[in-house]
Structure formats: C-alpha cells, structure tokens
C-alpha cells in the first residue's frame, strides 16, 4: 500500500473508531465502534483512489465542522459576552453563532470567520504541528 494511502487509512480509522474521551454538548461521537476496524480495513482496501479521496474529503469537512464549532463555543463562553452583545458590537448574527457553536450548522464556521471573531473578541487561534514522540 502506498505511504499516502496508509496514512490516510490510519487517519480515517482513528477518526471513525476512537471514542470521545470527554463528551460535551455538541461534541463529536464515534461513527464506528472499535470492533468494526476489520470491516473498515476490508472496505478501504477495495476502494478506488477517487473513492478514497471522496471519503477523506468528507472526513475532513466533518473534522473541520466539529473543531470549528468547539473553537467557536470556547470563544463565546470565555468572552463573557452574550450572543446578542457580540451581534450588537461586531455584527455577527447571534442566532447563527449559536447554531454553529452548538454543532447544528451543516458546514461549520469558516477559518476566516473564526479568525475574524477571535480578533474581535481578543483571542488568538493557533494552528500547530508537533512531532510525535
């Protein structure tokens, strides 16, 4: 199996199989039980490159939606401002902020929107890559 496929397969298996250690309101739930890994491996091995790409595009969107919602919820909670106050001060629709922060948005927040809101509320967003040990 090519290296890129092996990495992608590991990422998908991890995303779909791991249980959320500390479930919170709106947190992602496992989509596949750990015992289903064998079935996933067999399915993955029969997929064409286009099918694999489509699957990982979907996983990437799911991860971005959930991570974005969690980042947004954290900023809203820690800002000390209500959604209506943020709406009045900065022009962000409070209903849309609430839906997105609670994971009810289909697409989640864009990275641009997260950065803009973080700037307005006095937060920094860090994207970080670290070496595994």
- CB–CB of 81/121 below 8 Å? yes
Q: What is the pLDDT of residues 105-122, one digit of tens each?
A: 888 888 888 888 999 999
Residue carrying structure tokens 């489509």: 54
For 46-70, give one letter per residue: b (16+ CB within 10 A) or e: eeeeeebeebeeebeeeeebbebbb
Rounded CA gap, 96 and 27, in Å? 18
pLDDT at position 74: 92
Q: Please report which residue ranges of 1-133 form alpha helices under DSSP H.
A: 3-17, 37-45, 49-79, 83-90, 94-101, 111-121
Dihedral sign from CA coordinates of 90, 95, 100, 101:
positive
Residue indicated by tokens 């947190």: 27
pLDDT digits over 50-64, tens only? 888 888 888 878 888
pTM over cut 0.85:
no
- Give the range with max mean pLDDT: 22-36, 51-65, 79-93: 79-93
């Amino acid at each position: 199996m090519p290296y890129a496929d092996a990495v992608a397969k590991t990422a998908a298996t991890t995303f779909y199989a791991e249980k959320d250690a500390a479930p919170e309101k709106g947190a992602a739930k496992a989509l596949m039980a750990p015992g289903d890994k064998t079935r996933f491996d067999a399915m993955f091995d029969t997929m064409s490159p286009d099918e694999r790409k489509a699957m990982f595009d979907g996983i990437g969107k799911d991860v971005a939606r959930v991570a974005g919602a969690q980042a947004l919820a954290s900023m809203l909670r820690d800002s000390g401002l209500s959604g209506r106050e943020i709406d009045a001060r900065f022009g962000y629709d409070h209903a849309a902020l609430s839906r997105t922060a609670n994971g009810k948005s289909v697409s989640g927040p864009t990275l641009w929107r997260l950065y803009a809101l973080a700037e307005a509320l006095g937060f920094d967003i860090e994207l970080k890559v670290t070496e595994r040990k």
